[in-house]
Amino acid sequence: MAPVAHAAYLMLPLRDLETWTRYFHTAEIPVLSSTSKALELLRADEDNVDANTLGEVIDSDPLMTLKLMAHVAAKRRPGSVTQTESVTTSLVMMGISPFFSNFGLQPTINTWLSDQPQALRGLGSLLRRAERAAHFAHGFAVHRGDTDVGVIRLAAFLYDFAEMLMWCHAPTLQLAIVQAQRADATLRTANVQRSVLNIELDDLRQNLMKLWRLPELLVRITDNRHADTAIVRNVVLAVRLARHTAKGWDNPAIPDDVDDIAKLLNTVPRVALAFVHKIDQSVL
């Protein structure tokens, strides 16, 4: 049996951050069609599946990654000091059989948004952007010799998950945000979000990560309020560059991005630009 589609989209904004947080706390999260299919193939051969094999499938999908990590975190005892900061360690802690028992046939974004082609394209673009942001963040962290490369990559990969959830559950509202910014490129994203949604998505991301009890380090390095630290700048600049280069390298904001990346990497802009182009080529 195919996974059922959404029950209903949100057509009007919820009242405030608390209300949005409660809604998404238990909302269904659809995943990539390729993820759902791959998981079913592995389920059929469960006895021969290990955490690394399963992790490779999940780790390429930010939505499935989010579902897994939130589920594992919820099973931890309150006050537990053990926090899993990667998909593979989450699977090791959970176990392969319990994973398949807890995660049945996954609903897919294609089915979920089958009657919303514009939203499906918008979500698809955001998912591709998340992949590029993760690659940029990984490259910056390796260059800096950071010891938390994995969680830095994960933070960039999941950074825009609140927007991904909006595309799935409130596609009309999310399209209104996109259309407003297309009509006036000078509009600040946060201002448009407050106007359309009554909240900023950065705040929703932080609220949900804390409510789902995701790893403290992951929560901290996706918090823009800590942008004075190198590890947070690593993530923010990777996400920013991925956003500004989503349609090519002629965005007027890119020189400023490259200048900031050069400072992060302790190099000059010319070298930083060559470096980010090299990273981007490796994604293609």
Q: Which domains does the chain have, with CATH numbers?
A: 17-109 (1.10.3210.10), 114-283 (1.10.3210.10)
Q: pTM for this one?
A: 0.93
| Structure-token match 């089958």, residue found | 114
pLDDT tens, position by position, for the chain (284 residues)? 444 556 589 999 999 999 999 999 999 999 999 999 999 999 999 999 999 999 999 999 999 999 999 999 888 766 555 566 789 999 999 999 999 999 999 999 999 999 999 999 999 999 999 999 999 999 999 999 999 999 999 999 999 999 999 999 999 999 999 999 999 988 899 999 999 999 999 999 999 999 999 988 899 999 888 788 999 999 999 999 999 999 999 999 999 999 999 999 999 999 999 999 999 988 65
| Structure-token match 């190099």, residue found | 267
Q: How far apart are CA 73 and CA 210, in angstroms?
A: 10
Whether 278 contacts 143, CB under 8 Å: no
Q: How far apart are CA 255 and CA 262, in angstroms?
A: 10
Closest by CA to 137, choosing from 238, 244, 265, 262, is: 238
Mean pLDDT over the full length of the chain = 93
